[in-house]
Amino acid sequence: MTKLNVLVLCTGNSARSIMAEYWINHDLGDTWQAFSAGVDPKGLNPWTKIVLEEKGFDLSAARSESVYDYLDRDDLDLVVTVCDHARETCPVFPHPVEQIHVGFEDPAEYTDADEQKALETFREARDRIRSVLIPILLEKAQQHTQG
């Protein structure tokens, strides 16, 4: 089976969308290839790196990308916005692609908080993204194979 391609979008592509990209590729890598981007990329948040590395992910190649790098792709099967701002400001894709919104609180608001609060908030976001988004994409993949 050919993998489905999903682009996960948020505003800065610094936390939520990157967390989603890594979880999707880890948990659903046999059916989905995930990418992430932002409508206004800010760079990888250091707390994102820490909490994903806690789960064994290698983020040495991780980088913050722009949605504009993906607009001309005609192989995307799904676009998932994970924040309201990205949903509202997402540019129009020239090729038809299904878009869904699954919003999550932004842990980046706690980037400058004390270490314990920042870690707690980023861990909660990491785990919530996995528990909410993975079942949705699993169901989408099943729908796609059933035609």
The 10s digit of each residue's pLDDT in 58-92 is 999 999 999 999 998 999 999 999 988 777 877 77
Each residue's pLDDT tens digit, 57-66: 999 999 999 9
The residues near 11 (Cβ < 8 Å, ≥ 6 apart) are 38, 39, 40, 42, 83, 85, 86, 89, 106
Among candidate residues 4, 9, 15, 83, the one labeled active-site is 83
Q: How many CB atoms lie under 10 A from the CB of residue 83?
A: 24
Report the pLDDT value the prediction gives residue 95, as an integer from 0 to 100.
Answer: 84
CA distances from 134 to 57, 119, 140 (A): 17, 22, 10
**Active-site hit among 50, 59, 90, 102:** 90
Q: With beta carbons less than 8 A apart as the criterion, state whether 7 and 35 touch.
A: yes
Active site residue 110: no
Per-residue DSSP letter, 66: B
Confidence (pLDDT) at 147 = 67
The whole-chain average pLDDT of the chain stands at: 93
In which band, very low, low, confident or very high, does the pLDDT at 1 lie, cut at 50, 70 and 90? low
Pick among 3.10.20.90, 3.40.50.2300, 1.10.1200.10, 1.10.357.10: CATH of 4-146: 3.40.50.2300
In this predicted structure, which of 31-45, 57-71, 92-106, 112-126 has the lowest mean pLDDT? 92-106
143 is catalytic: no
Q: Cα separation of 25 and 113, whole Å?
A: 30
Domain boundaries, the chain: 4-146
Active-site annotation holder among 6, 7, 9, 10: 10
90 is catalytic: yes
Distance (Å, rounded) from C-alpha 114 to C-alpha 103? Answer: 25
What pLDDT does residue 80 have?
95
Query: What's the pTM?
Result: 0.95
What span, in angstroms and rounded, lies between the C-alpha atoms of 124 and 88?
Answer: 25
- Quick check: helix, strand or coil at residue 77? coil
